[in-house]
Amino acid sequence: MREINLTDTVAFKALASHFAEAKDWQMRMLFSRQPNRFDRFSAEAAGLLLDYSKNRIDDTTMRLLLDLARERGVERKRDAMFAGEKINLTEHRAVLHTALRMPRTARLVVDGQDVIPEVHAVLDHIKAFTDRVRTGNWLGATGRAITDIVNIGIGGSDLGPEMACRALRPFAHPRLTMHFVANVDGHDLDAALAKVNPETTLFIIASKTFTTRETMMNARSAREWFLGHRNEADLPKHFVAVSTNTQAVGEFGIDPANMFPFWDWVGGRYSIWSSIGLPLALAIGFDGFSEFLGGGHAMDQHFRTAPLERNMPVIMGMIGVWYRNFFGTTSLSIAPYHQDLSQFPAYLQQLEMESNGKRVAIDGRPLSLESCPVVWGNVGTNGQHAYFQLLHLGTDIVPVDFIAALKPMHDLSGHHTVLLANCFAQSEAFMRGKNADEVRAELHAQRLAESEIEALLPHKVFPGNRPSNTILMDELAPATLGALIALYEHKVFVQGVVWGINSFDQWGVELGKVLAKNIEPELTGMPCPEAHDSSTNGLIARAKAALSE
């Protein structure tokens, strides 16, 4: 079924007319005309506050953006997702990561079966296992308690657990140290193995099919390393699996009783809520993991029930469409002012760019407009001393999402006040900028000569008018982290619906893997020059020469 092009919708055309006026707005002017912008353009849900007042929007902009959301069917498709309809059309699957955080009393029937009892059966299994490890009742082969946990996965099987474990570091078990290995580059695994003792280490092999190339290569190398110190009979005490391939898990030497499954309606980048979250449950305990799920569920309920005018994921998603498709911005910077969220920008890179980095619509036609921007960032205040120069004074406009917690999880005096001051000051600086009169006054106060002032002036003028959102939470805790992740998940969904794409497949990761399988034997065997271009052949030859030395 063909959908109408985004550019042909009534709401998009209305927005295009509105943009002709709005594109020249100055946010200083908007704040002057509407002093209550913070109250008007902020929303709260699930322990989070979203301030979106520092954007090039007014009431008309938001009304038209929400009209577009309605015309594109955001509400209808949202309800279809939560109902378990197979909205992932290219893979004929439901999209039900939200079911993983539903309470035990809920009911959700998919293909004639209520999935909630299965979800909670796995959660019960996770609880029993993590309780044993954390209390020291799970012992290694030599009778010693586990001290180190090495999670071996890639993509969503790595990014989510590592990000969440880092984010919730203050809640972690003091005896357990978490390690994450994803890269097929042996330096990654080698560095992890150098830090652990085989007698007190537990490996989690996270691969739904137990065939993922990078994961299984690392898993087999970890197994070989372990067997250099112990014997095969000891494997079940030191290796567990997050998988659905019982036969392969057993053949590897893992007791299938220590296999934690999940379902095909859980995409990798949405899988932190499933048994892929086992490292997080081990780190913070099952009660903490339950709070994490609860935070995600609270945001689900908000997304499902709040009017679009107060719906945080819808608001964030539509403002992103406004900048991408009207202002032509090409990237979005994530700036968490919290060191424990250092991996959050990397997590969002996969969530957003793997989901919405598409060039064709659901019906296979090329998109009429650009889709997902590049997502990137780093923690504040580090980013201020690295790339904020470009954000303030570069030729590109880059919207920024600031994220901060109002209370720290440490007792170091003064640090958090300085951190929050920098966060709020940067968002204000992006909005206000510094005009020529303000620069002149500043330089006159320094008693500089008029000629020097005129020479410095163009370098020190900040254009401002750079948009940002600010997301605040009381503290970074399991529930608020869960709500924050779910907020961005649903924002991605909203934008995918508006752009008319399937946000839940990822065919773009396949081609390079296929070609790598062809090249790999050539690096150690006979070349096939007719199969490649001259550049690839030259690179293969250079690598073969180096490997044979």
Q: Which one from 92, 385, 459, 517 is the annotated catalytic residue?
A: 385
Q: Tokens for 145, please give them.
A: 């308690």
Burial 362-400 (b: 16+ CB within 10 A, else e): beeeebeeebbbebbbbbbbebbeebbeebbeeeebbbb
3-state helix, strand, coil in the chain (%, to 5): 55, 10, 30
Q: Residue 134 has what DSSP assignment?
A: H
Q: Which one from 214, 291, 354, 489 is the annotated catalytic residue?
A: 354
Q: Tokens for 85, please give them.
A: 């309809």
Beta bridge partners of 472: 49, 404
Cβ contacts of 246 within 8 Å, gap of 6 or more: 256, 259
Cβ contacts of 225 within 8 Å, gap of 6 or more: 193, 198
Q: Which one from 309, 454, 513, 520 is the annotated catalytic residue?
A: 513
CB 28 within 8 A of CB 462: no
- 338 is an active site residue: no
Which amino acid type is present at position 86? K
CB 82 within 8 A of CB 98: yes
- 195 is an active site residue: no
Q: Tokens for 320, please give them.
A: 């992103």
CB 442 within 8 A of CB 426: no
E strand or H helix at 494: helix 478-499
Q: Tokens for 72, please give them.
A: 């594109």
Taking the C-alpha atoms of residue 168 and residue 227, their distance in angstroms, rounded to an integer, is 33
- 434 is an active site residue: no
Beta bridge partners of 241: 205, 259
Taking the C-alpha atoms of residue 482 and residue 242, their distance in angstroms, rounded to an integer, is 21
E strand or H helix at 181: strand 177-181
- DSSP alpha helix (H) spans, 349-477: 355-356, 388-393, 415-432, 436-445, 450-460
Instruction: Kindly list the catalytic residues.
Output: 354, 385, 513
